[in-house]
Amino acid sequence: MNLEQFSGVNAGYVLELYEKYRQNPEAVDPATREAFASWTPAEIPARADAAPSGPSAAIHVIVGAANLAESIRRYGHLAARIDPLGSTPPGDPSLSPRAHGITDHDLRALPASLVGGPVAESAANAFEAIEKLRRVYCSTTGFDYAHVFVPEERQWLRDAAESGRFLPPMDGKSAHALVDRITQVEVFERFLHRTFPGKTRFSVEGVDMLVPILDEIICGAADRGVRQSIIGMAHRGRLNVLAHVLQKPYSQILAEFKDPVGASTRLNLGWMGDVKYHAGARTAKPRGQMHVEMPPNPSHLEAVNPVVVGMARAAGTIAEEPGAPRFDGARTLPVLIHGDAAFPGQGIVAETLNLSRLRGYDTDGTIHIIANNQVGFTATPAESYSTSYASGLARGFKIPIVHVNADDPVACIEAARLAWEYRSRFRRDVLIDLIGYRRHGHNEGDEPGFTQPLMYKKVAAHPTVRQLFGAALVKQETIAQDELDAIEKKHWAVLEKAFESLKPEEDFVAPVAEPVPAGIAGQTPTGVPFDRLVTINTALQADPKDFTFAKKLERGRERRKAALASIDERTIDWAMAEELALATILADGTPVRLTGEDVERGTFSHRHAVYHDASTGREFVPLQEFPQSRAPFEIYNSPLSENGAIGFEFGYNIQAPGRLVIWEAQYGDFINGAQVMLDQFVTSSRAKWGLQPSLVFLLPHGYEGQGPEHSSARPERILQAAANINLRLVNCTTAAQYFHLLRRQAALLRRDPLPLFVMSPKSLLRHPLVASTPRELQEGRFQSVIDDLDMQARAKNVKRLILCSGKVYVDLITGERRAAADEVAICRVEQLYPFPNVALGEVLGGYPSLRDVVWLQEEPENMGAWEFLRPLLEELVAGRCPVRYIGRPRSASPSEGSAAWHQLNQKTLVDRAFNLRNENEAENTPRALPKEERSLTGSKR
């Protein structure tokens, strides 16, 4: 036997203890002293990695005992009985003394202090201490925290588990309260089951302890002064949590089950709403001083995770003072409830966990609970994840995990208390893996026996947690059987009464968004007096003390300093317009948050909102420093995520509707990685849930020869989702337009909030034709349509009106044939949605001799705005002349891959635009699907 076999922490621990003993025998407890007294100096290696070849039996026994203890702490959860359906835990060989070359007899001869920790204090010897350790680690709770790398946290978790200090006392009063709550949870489901047979409710049964766990966490947090808890969860158990944790009235839930067709709210065809198990809620009365809130969520599992975390971040962000805002996580507690198949399967979970420790995203810890019913629809764990547990992903993020058997209420409450205390103390995420089963099929009309016959035989014979816990309490004589029966009757009676007195038409509360006040957007004044712009700009461009700018950036700063020397010079480029817009918004008192991939510098190295001292790296953020500011400015480079990052900003935005929240894509294309967030939250949440988001998206867009992946922000997708005035989509062409657009969005945050999508420029960021004069910032306002200024004097002669949007306008006006094309006018549609019907109508009215109206775009015919606009334009033109299309032909890919082809195609577009002779040619008219595409859907195939 060689000590090297026991190298590592345990050997080290024993040797450390021995060293302590050698220096001062009194420093160790008497039993350890006695054990060490039998060692001879020659047998003791100086260090674990310098072990001699033949240490005595005493050393091997002592090291074996220490290793056994460590193995139980590390791997004990593998032998824990955490499955209520009784499957055999996998176990681990290292949990037996034999694996360490020792016997129970050996352990009895050793002091308990070798095992260490609280269990040793009341144990007579190492054997007893090990047995106690097994009861902690291998019972109905699996403490899984060895992957936590911070020693202080690991020590705390070890002590928390082994001391049992979070175990709730089960005296008569607390046992009564707990069994009452469990009964309420169960009776609610059984009542719905009986009253609405077969109706989908995604019952909590099998993981009923979810509700008491939430109670415990929320009460713990409320006692510690947390003001708001935000719970994110999917379908499973949602109705139960809404009823019992968020106090949503039974009458309202029952009315939703009745689904009153013909109720007044349904008579309006614009009503959309959502199914009942997606609805959100907020407690009407606080629990203590805490409100509990649950945002609505879509079916897309786990998609609500970053939204909740973003909400918590916004709620904890103190945005009253200018400068950088402060975050105080002690105000808010986010709780996320996951499914056991969804947690490992949905990438958004990893994206959200990755936000948890980032500067701009940290919430001081989220409590995660996996409502683990050991099945996902019909899929088994073996089909759902490659990790050992459903919670495996959390390990990589060093999140402590407590696996707990959902049939042991006391263990569940202990897990909840430990989780809250850990979160509160270390301000980090923690996870409870609540392992139960699913009493019914995936939904209540589903037959689980088709796919899980054995499991469901067990489930059918398995008593509920209420029955098990009740029986145990009766057996212990903590509570009498008739008391249990009375509790059950009481809860039935409450539900029956609510049902009998139900008036579905009145009790049904439909979500309705505030109607949009007509025309406010167009009337919003956004100009800023020149003097004020000069004062603010001077402050922004002032050099901070002892700060060395990078040489190349100094030139840019000089340009910005000089830009307001004259009111009529075209000196304001895109980045400067943005900086002045944000500064004036802050000076008006509206907080701003700007995030996205590399936003601090800007993807195109144009923004420089954060400077880094060239010699020290120190940061300087002018928008946080200028004295005119009355509100905080936060700016963070986001992690490399779109779905998680947008979900987070959406949550932040709906929680703090008075702040201007902007997310910028690296290139507009990449927003398609967040299609779930766009479809499920940003564009539809108003119609489904009555939310009023106002998030701003800056999406670099434009055909510049970079290929299919850096050209299009896919405006067609945004337009497809545009209806009922649910968003604004803008593709504007001047720095001043952008300035007014941002200021308008800030001004409308309270009065007319809508998400804003901006197709933002790339090469045009610095283009002289896009630059504006200070006067345009002072006097103008955002224009949804800009008519052709050059043509107005000759409007009578104009035969073709070209309508276009964004960068292609610059290609047109810089085209060789522009100067000579007297009969062609070019009008910019700066706002694509809401469609500027009136403004465009006025433009058309100004050209009496039109022979055609052309929509010209860079995107292929099946992309861009054309298919959305065509019926609108045809209606507007009303048969006066044909409406034609000029653009790339239909294509499966957004653009050509070669820069040379791009140039050729772009030139062809421009040439066609000015070629009036081809007005009857087929390629200029709207075309039906090409033949070969149609044949694929034809009857012969």
Residues found near ligand TPP in the complex (CB under 6 A): 236, 299-301, 339-342, 371, 373, 375-377, 438, 442
| Terminal-to-terminal C-alpha distance of the chain | 76
Query: For residue 454, which amino acid is it?
Result: L
What is the Rg, in whole angstroms, of the alpha carbon atoms belonging to the chain? 34
Which residues are CB-neighbours of 302 under 8 A, at least 6 positions away? 234, 338, 339, 342, 343, 346, 348, 349, 352
Write out the two tokens for 67. 């290793």
CA 872 to chain CA mean position, Å: 36
- Name the amino acid, one letter, at 178: L
Q: Which residues contact 552 (CB under 8 A, 6 or more apart)?
A: none
Tell the residue number behind the tokens 């006391």, with chain if given. 410
Query: For residue 592, what are the β-bridge partners?
Result: 633, 660
Using CA atoms, how far apart are residues 13 and 27, in angstroms rounded to an integer? 15
Pairing of strands 785-786, 824-829: antiparallel
Between CA 99 and CA 517 the distance in angstroms is: 75
Rounded to whole angstroms, how far apart are CA atoms 678 and 351?
16
Closest to 315 measured CA to CA, from 221, 230, 222, 233 = 230
Q: Strands 728-730, 831-833: parallel, antiparallel or unpaired by DSSP?
A: antiparallel
Reported residue count of the chain is: 941
Residue 829 pairs in a beta bridge with 785
User: What are the residues facing 334 on neighbouring strands?
Assistant: 230
- Identity of residue 729: L
* CB-based contacts of 476, cutoff 8 Å, min separation 6: none
Query: Contact at 8 Å (CB) between 770 and 830?
Result: no
User: Tokens 């200070």 sit at which residue?
Assistant: 774
Q: Residue 757: phi, psi to the nearest 5?
A: -105, 120
Exposed/middle/buried for residue 154 (C-beta within 10 Å: 0-12, 13-18, 19+): middle
DSSP-derived secondary structure letter, 679: I
What residues pair up with 758 in beta bridges, in sequence order? Answer: 698, 730
DSSP structure class, residue 88: P
Distances (CA, A) of 412 to 138, 217, 401, 404, 905: 15, 11, 13, 6, 66
Q: If residue 699 lies in a helix (H) or strand (E), which one and from where to where?
A: strand 696-700
| CA-to-CA separations, 209 to 136, 205, 321, 369, 525, in angstroms, rounded | 20, 9, 43, 11, 55
Tokens, residue 101: 């070359």
479: left (phi over 0), alpha (psi -120 to 50) or beta: beta
Residue 629 tokens, joined? 């500011």
Rounded distance between C-alpha atoms, residue 184 and residue 437, angstroms: 19
State the burial class of residue 523 (Cβ atoms within 10 Å of its Cβ: 0-12, 13-18, 19+).
Answer: exposed
Element (H, E) at 857: strand 852-860
Task: Show Cβ contacts of residue 793 under 8 Å, excluding neighbours closer than 6 positions.
Answer: none
Take residue 886 and report the two structure tokens written for it.
């000029």
Question: Is residue 571 a contact partner of residue 561, using CB atoms and an 8 Å limit?
Answer: no
User: Hey, is 755 helix, strand or coil?
Assistant: coil
Place of tokens 């800023």: 528
Per DSSP, 889 falls in state P
Distance CA 790, CA 461 (A): 84
